[in-house]
Amino acid sequence: MGEELKLFRTWSSRYALRVVHALKIKDLEYETIFEDIKNKSTSLLEYNSIHKKVPVLVHNGKPICESLVILEYIDEIWKQSPLLPQDPYEKAMARFWAKFGDDKKRSRGSYCSSSREPQVLRRAANGKKFFGGETIGYLDIAFGWVANLISILEEIADLKLVDAEIFPLLSAWMNNFSDHPVINECWPPRDKMVEKFKAMREPYVEKVA
């Protein structure tokens, strides 16, 4: 029997993007259902009745929610191009940093407002091409959206947020990840992202002016 794989996402969701990247790295075919967050489909509400959020991956009719949980599920079912390290300690560390990143995001409101996050990324990457070594893995995917968002914010603010001279390791990782051919083709449309973040910034700019 053929596999049925559906991804409920929005065009811009950073969490859904993790799943898009993982499916792409595993070279899996799937159907995409684009949701409107202001008018969620009944399928989404049923599949993720607890949080009512994207992403949801539906595998042969069974829904899996929460992006990091989905990444682990994908990695367990499809063994090609492994995402999580095999070593139990390394695996625990990857899960720790991914959770740390998501917890910070929730507690701070804005990821990039904290000067500690780049330090965290820098320590986790530790000079390797990717967090896990030579190939893209779970932690790269978990943090990957940061690479895209930072460059968009830099464009909007006309400001260098991650200077290669100050953050050489982080900057190298961001480039390695963003420019990877498999990852590169999955980013949300840049002009739409710029437009979205400019609109989000507008009320604050007006207040300051």
**Does residue 13 bind ligand GSH (CB under 6 A)?**
yes
CB of 14 to ligand GSH, least distance (A): 6
- Cα(63)–Cα(57) distance, integer angstroms: 6
Identify which of 155, 172, 180, 168 has the alpha carbon closest to the alpha carbon of residue 25.
Answer: 180
Residue 54 within binding range of ligand GSH, rule CB under 6 A: yes
By the rule CB under 6 A, 72 interacts with ligand GSH? no
- Dihedral of CA atoms 191, 196, 197, 203 in degrees, nearest 10, equals 140
Start-to-end C-alpha separation, the chain: 61
Residue placing its CB nearer to ligand GSH in the complex, 15 or 131: 15
Smallest distance, Å, CB 98 to ligand GSH? 10
* Member of 37, 161, 164, 200 binding ligand GSH (CB under 6 A): 37
Contacting ligand GSH (CB under 6 A), which of 6, 67, 94, 145? 67
Choosing from 6, 7, 8, 15, the residue that interacts with ligand GSH (CB under 6 A) is 15
Asked if 151 interacts with ligand GSH (CB under 6 A), we say no
| Residue 68 near residue 142 (C-beta atoms within 8 A) | yes
The DSSP call for residue 39 is B
Q: Does the footprint of ligand GSH cover residue 148 (CB under 6 A)?
A: no
User: In angstroms, what is the minimal distance from the CB of 205 to ligand GSH?
Assistant: 23
Q: Is 66 in the site for ligand GSH (CB under 6 A)?
A: yes
Rg (CA), the chain: 17
Q: Least CB distance from residue 176 to ligand GSH, whole Å?
A: 23
CA nearest 6: which of 24, 30, 26, 36?
30
With CB atoms as reference, the residue minimizing the distance to ligand GSH is 53
Shortest CB 54 distance to ligand GSH, Å: 4
Q: Using the rule CB under 6 A, is 55 a contact of ligand GSH?
A: yes
Stretch that binds ligand GSH, among 65-73, 90-98, 127-135, 173-181 (CB under 6 A): 65-73
User: Residue 79 phi/psi, 5° resolution?
Assistant: -80, -20
Give the C-alpha separation, 155 to 13, whole Å.
19
Distances from the Cα of 71 to the Cα of 98, 108, 137, 193, angstroms: 11, 24, 10, 24
- Beta strands 31-34 and 5-9 are parallel
In the complex, which residues of this chain contact ligand GSH (CB under 6 A)?
10, 13-15, 37, 52-55, 66-68
